[in-house]
């Protein structure tokens, strides 16, 4: 059977984008309404399990169908969104501060763009379409939930930290790509995507992505900065240790 092609801003694409927004708002409202650590834990563990099972199923599928060599070259969780998906599980289960910062900046900046303009061939109801949007949408939902539901907040220092860690990771991935003939973080070859932000060829688009990363990180930080300037704060359970880290 011929696979169903992906249609940018088609009905299925628009529906899943709306569902991501509804889910994020819904989970935030649930944890803020009940204001209970037990409910918070149940929501976080349940959502983390969904994301983890989704990732494991995809890894198994890719390894079985594509084989070990192609799996290593293309399907290890070494893209920014792949790492953000794993970090989303970590922050949901542990509320680790560094994992949260990376999910907030990498996830909101990268996964949001991936949700709106995906590098995806398969449409609904193909497995790759479903898996892709559970993974990438889950990253965005996690960042929103942890921030506006559970009271964690990024800082300007965490913005810089996320940016420098991203560049350090890119340096490591450059070497890994050369060894394996891979294209993780799209450092070796421009990705095939409908994103309006990619209009340079290799390697100039990499420098352009550096600028875009800082711009998007700043935009992600802006609502938190404005909230702090107003002196307001959405109620949420944050430990004294986390507050001191800010």
pLDDT tens digits along 91-131: 999 999 999 999 999 988 888 988 998 888 888 989 999 99
pLDDT of 237: 42
What residues contact 136, with CB distance under 8 A and at least 6 apart?
A: 81, 85, 111, 114, 115, 118
Distance, in Å, from the CA atom of 31 to the CA atom of 243, rounded to the nearest integer, reads 20
Evaluate whether residue 5 is within a structural domain: no
Evaluate whether residue 3 is within a structural domain: no
pLDDT of 235: 43
pLDDT of 156: 93
pLDDT of 227: 86
Structure tokens, 226: 């404005």
Evaluate whether residue 4 is within a structural domain: no
Evaluate whether residue 198 is within a structural domain: yes
Evaluate whether residue 48 is within a structural domain: yes
Structure tokens, 148: 């506006």
**CB atoms < 10 A from the CB of 114, how many?**
26
Provide the residue range defining the domain that includes 41. Answer: 11-245
Structure tokens, 121: 């061939």
Q: Which residue has the tokens 């949001």?
A: 112
Closest Cα partner for 56 from 19, 34, 82, 95? Answer: 82
Q: Which residue has the tokens 């569902």?
A: 19
pLDDT of 233: 52
Distance, in Å, from the CA atom of 53 to the CA atom of 2, rounded to the nearest integer, reads 27
* Residue 238 dihedral angles phi and psi, to the nearest 5°: -130, 130
pLDDT of 90: 97
Evaluate whether residue 70 is within a structural domain: yes
Q: 59-84 in b/e burial notation, b at 16+ Cβ within 10 A?
A: eeebeeeeeeeeebeebbbbbbbbbb
The predicted model scores a pTM of: 0.87
**CB atoms < 10 A from the CB of 181, how many?**
10
pLDDT of 189: 84
Number of structural domains in the chain:
1
Q: 15 with 129: CB under 8 angstroms?
A: no
pLDDT of 215: 93
Task: Identify the segments of the chain with pLDDT beneath 50.
Answer: 234-246
pLDDT of 1: 59
């Amino acid at each position: 059977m011929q696979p169903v092609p992906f249609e940018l801003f088609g009905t299925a694409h628009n529906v899943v984008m709306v569902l991501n927004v509804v889910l994020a708002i819904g989970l935030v409202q649930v944890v803020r309404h009940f204001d209970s650590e037990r409910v918070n834990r149940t929501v976080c563990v349940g959502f983390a399990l969904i994301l983890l099972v989704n990732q494991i199923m995809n890894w198994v599928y890719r390894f079985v169908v594509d084989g070990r060599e192609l799996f290593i070259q293309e399907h290890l969780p070494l893209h920014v969104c792949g790492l953000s998906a794993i970090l989303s599980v970590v922050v949901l289960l542990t509320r680790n501060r560094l994992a949260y910062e990376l999910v907030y900046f990498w996830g909101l900046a990268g996964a949001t763009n991936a949700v709106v303009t995906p590098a995806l061939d398969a449409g609904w109801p193909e497995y790759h379409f479903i898996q892709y949007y559970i993974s990438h949408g889950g990253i965005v939902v996690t960042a929103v939930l942890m921030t506006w539901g559970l009271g964690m907040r990024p800082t300007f220092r965490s913005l810089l930290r996320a940016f420098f860690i991203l560049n350090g990771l890119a340096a490591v991935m450059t070497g890994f790509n050369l060894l394996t003939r891979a294209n993780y973080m799209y450092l070796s070859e421009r990705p095939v995507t409908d994103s309006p932000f990619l209009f340079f060829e290799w390697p100039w688009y990499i420098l352009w992505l550096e600028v875009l990363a800082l711009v998007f990180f700043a935009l992600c930080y802006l609502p938190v900065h404005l909230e702090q300037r107003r002196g307001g704060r959405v109620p949420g359970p944050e430990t004294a240790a986390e507050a001191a880290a800010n």
